[in-house]
Amino acid sequence: MFLFFIAFQVSKAQDSIVSFFNERDTVYLYHTLLDVYTFHFSGVMAIKKLETQHRIIFSTETGATLFDFTIEKNKCKTNYIMKEMENPIFVKLIKTDLLDLVQSYLEKKNYTDKVKVSNYSNSNFRLDNNGNQNIVYISGCTIDFINNKNIYKTISHIKSDENGIVSYVINIIHNNLPIKIELSKFYNTIEE
Amino acid sequence: MRKIIFVLNSVLLIWSLGASVQAQTYTPVKDIEAVKQKIATASKNMNSMQSNFSQEKYMSVMSQKIQSKGLFYFKKNNQVRWEYTEPYKYIIVLAGGKIQIKDEKKVSEYDMNANKAFKQINDMMIQLVQGNVLNSTSYIIKYSESSTNYLLDMTPTDKKLKSMFKNIQLYFDKNTYEVSSFKMIENNGDYTLIKFSNKKQNVAIDASKFVLK
């Protein structure tokens, strides 16, 4: 019975994994732990999908804003970042991860013509990462980012809701770098 | 569902009480030195504090505020525990140069000195909770009062604080000269309001409250 339940959940997520963070004017709130090299932060991350953008605001639990980014068309613009966080390496890494998180190929159908063949046999589909050489491999609730046939980053969505559009837990793990980002659903999703 | 409605009602009640404090009419304090002295004495005499708190975060990108609440513990010197109970259970302890965070899965621990952003915010918040800002050169402070509260409207002059906050409003109970709430307003107008209730000062707080396992 338990195995059936797991299978059911994965099956649901497989159909809708590309639509995470894609409901317009919806705010997704997550309690978030960021471990990026020597930078360690915890707080609340608000992700809002606008018409063509994602706005991401990360604040400490007690409310002070640490950064505020706008993501649009594969670019991440800084609206605000706390001085102490302005390390260029940190900013580049966190922006790339957030971009990959919210722009995980918003419309599956848009990318089917970009499918590339790799050695991975069980993938649902594969695609170019918008012109870069990296291959993105999506299977069930996991998105692997592959470079030279090695998985260098994994974004895993754990437990999605009934409609498969909100993940309860999301982990971003780098295999070759000391970077780990954990998001846990904080609050009911807010529809604006 | 009933639980959610109950929580929402509770949050709305706390929120409306907070709003009533904010909505009072404030006029400039005439004898600032007398008020400063009484606040300074209350601050100096506070060795520990245990309280409920409610927190409201307003962000211009959202039509609704993020509401949370929990229990707050403070013990001199610089030992703080924020125990969030709604809507998500997690605990943050700042003590002994460490930050410990406990969520439903695990305890994470970091060196506070390696995290300057967190340290700066924490140091500022401890000052606010203690009401220990009167002689700070980091702010220009305007004093005003209502029938029940003193309001210290603090505009940061310190470069770092200035980059983070437009101003900070610190509310003191007129009877006890203790901090009852504070509002941190960011440069883009977003703000966080933290209100304390059921405050108990100088009660014994077990050392275990400041160590997460």
Q: What is the pLDDT of residue A136?
A: 63
| A46 three-state secondary structure | strand
CB B197 within 8 A of CB B53: yes
Peptide bond into B9 cis (omega under 30): no
Is the CB of residue B113 less than 8 Å away from at least one CB of chain A?
A: no
Name which of A1-15, B4-18, B90-104 the model is least confident about. A1-15
Res A8 pLDDT > 60: no
Token pair recorded at residue A50: 């606008």
Contact A40 B92 (CB under 8 A): no
Tokens 């302890």 correspond to B93
| B186 contacts in chain A (CB < 8 Å) | 64-65
Contact A42 B108 (CB under 8 A): yes
Residue B5 lies in a domain: no
Distance (Å, whole) CA A187 – CA B60: 18
Q: A12 or B184: which carries more pLDDT confidence?
A: B184
| B39 three-state secondary structure | helix
Burial (0-12, 13-18, 19+ Cβ within 10 Å), A74: exposed
The shortest CB-CB distance from B116 to any of A27, A44, A84 is to: A84
Quote the distance between the C-alpha of residue B6 and its chain's center: 25
Contact B117 A82 (CB under 8 A): yes
- Domain range list for chain A: 2-191
Provide the number of structural domains found in chain B.
Answer: 1
User: Taking Cα atoms as reference points, which of B103, B65, B136, B86 lies closest to residue A190?
Assistant: B65
Residue B1 lies in a domain: no
pLDDT in tens, B38-59: 999 998 899 999 999 999 999 9
pLDDT in tens, B84-143: 999 888 899 999 888 898 887 788 888 887 777 777 788 888 888 888 888 888 899 999
CATH code assigned at B79: 2.50.20.10
ipTM exceeds 0.90: no
Token pair recorded at residue A147: 């470079």
Name which of A70-79, A163-172, B47-56, B152-161 the model is least confident about. A163-172
Domain of residue B42: give its range.
Answer: 25-210
CATH architecture of A2-191: Clam (2.50)
Distance (Å, whole) CA B211 – CA B95: 8
| Interface test with chain B among A35, A45, A65, by most B beta carbons within 10 Å | A65
Residue B20 lies in a domain: no
Residue B17 lies in a domain: no
Residue B101 lies in a domain: yes
Tokens 């060196």 correspond to B111
